[in-house]
Chain A
Amino acid sequence: MSVKERGDLGEEALAEVLASSGVKVGPEEIGAVARSLARIERAAILLRSPPFDETNEQFYRLLEDDGTRADA
């Protein structure tokens, strides 16, 4: 399922997705979850995809390397 598809789910279908994790979700809770998810999904669309070879490790290396340059 793509990001956009999940954002487009109706509340009933979203409740089923959440329930698949084993957590019971009340109908009164779904609206707020859907709105929050929509914000996150919009942000993901705004941000460009990282290069194919990019890994999480590069973020931590960048923190360390920049600090090392500052020390020099």
Chain B
Amino acid sequence: MSDLTTLTLRDAAAAIAQGRLRAEALVDACLDRVERLQPALNCFIRVTAEAAREQARAADVAVEGGRTLGPLHGVPLAHKDMFYRAGEVCSCGSKIRADFVPDHTATVLTQLDAAGGIELGRLNMAEFAMGPTGHNDHFGRCRNPWNPEYITGGSSSGSGAAVAAGLVFGALGSDTGGSVRLPAAACGVVGIKPTLGRVSRYGTMPLSYSLDCIGVLARSVGDCARLLSVIAGADPQDGMSSRRPAPDYERGLDEAASSGSLAGVTVGLPHRYYFDGIDSEVAELVAASRAVLEARGAKIVDVPVGDHGAVNDLSNGILWPEAAAIHLPWLSDRPQDYAKQSRARMLVGLGVPATLYVGAVRARAKLLDELLRGAFSRCDVLHVPVLKRPVPTAAETDVGGGAAMQEVLGQIVANTRPFNYFGLPGLSVPIGFTRNGLPQAMQLVGRPFREDLLFRVGAAYEAGVGGPAARPPL
């Protein structure tokens, strides 16, 4: 086998479990790649090479003993540095928590460990998951593997870049306003933000209790489905997690690859907001992706949506007061230790009247009900771009906390944040490249807990274009 890191996650796990590939060889291949590319990409905050090699040897011993550890047997992973592991530093991408050592382990890490995954280290992220670009004043900017001058998207910047660059096969991220879907889109990988409550948040850094979702990024829809299957489900340690049993999200994906597999699936095209002001290159790519779905049997219909621009702004009336409340002691005592942009956004939270915050929270039921009775009564999934414009350069988005911040950052999250407000699942799937050589993505959005359908549509798309997106030539 020439380059082990080009395998899919699912093929790698199968090869290891069947004794055709040693986990130690795969981990070494990934660590070699990390060593070579980390100086250019800055994906990792911390690499735990020896611990990973030790786990890999244990995974190989298990195979020799006839045991299979689970669906991620021996697969190298790494995660945004906001998932707690007892006794290990978890920086949250910040100076303030640079030395924080939690006393408990996130449920999602426990689940990935139990499934046989091997963690190579911790990935770069926006400070406290507060930025959508990939800038980080404390650990340095994470760079896009397709072109280091461009942003990775954020806040799960290292997750998007490391998966795209083939440093790991999958990564955890978090998504409060688009932080999984944006880096997935900008780096050309698949990312899912599940339904609010689908994945446990126990042992993860909070940003906004009402909006935070834990998601995953991988290089194909099938790989993403496997990772979500491992971490989805009820958690008695997270009272907000859904008690609904989690399905096997890989079920039906092979059938989805056959021609005509989307017969009976209706794809909705929102008639306003999500395409307002869209760049013409992006519009062409999105239209082409829609044509692929149609060719696989999907019916395309226009659907009405309400004023989702207002929904987008209103979600800031929830996000920033909640973030400011969590950070208030540090905002008072250690203001100099925040990046300007993080601080500027939380100051907004201090200014939102409590009655407005509560109103924004209470309005969610009615607005979600309108969306389900409206657009989703006519379609099974919504199809919109993740970004309305080509991926910008780092220089274009290096706005600090100044006057341009709201405008620039607002453009980036415009199409992702409304679905955090609604709590709905969203899948980002690569759909090609703009002339600047950077990837673009479609966003498939489903009814609550219909991640299975999103994966099926995404898999049908991948099959329709000849397989998962290409990897950058690194």
Contacts and interface: CB of A to CB of B under 8 A. Distances in A.
Interface residues of A, number: 46
B49 interface: no
Interface string B348-378: 1011110110011111111111001000000
Contacts of A62: 365, 368-369, 372, 448
B313 interface: yes
B363 to A, nearest CB: 5
A8 interface: no
A65 to B, nearest CB: 8
B313 to A, nearest CB: 4
Main secondary structure of the interface of B (DSSP, over half): helix
Given A35-B406, A40-B316, A63 B351 contact: no
Nearest to B453: A70
A49 to B, nearest CB: 7
B335 A63 contact: no
A21 B350 contact: yes
Given A23-B332, A23-B347, A25-B347, A48 B353 contact: no
A58 B423 CA distance: 13
Interface of A is mostly: helix
A25 to B, nearest CB: 6
Contact of A40 (B195, B348, B447): B348
A24 B449 contact: no
Contacts of B403: 31-32, 35
Among A35, A63, A71, chain B packs the most CB atoms within 10 A around the CB of A63
B71 interface: no
B370 to A, nearest CB: 10
Contact of B348 (A3, A37, A49): A37
12 contacts: A3-B353, A6-B351, A36-B348, A43-B311, A44-B356, A47-B359, A50-B363, A56-B364, A58-B365, A59-B423, A63-B196, A63-B449
Interface of A: 1-3, 6, 14, 17-18, 21-25, 29, 31-37, 39-44, 46-51, 54-56, 58-60, 62-64, 66-68, 70-71
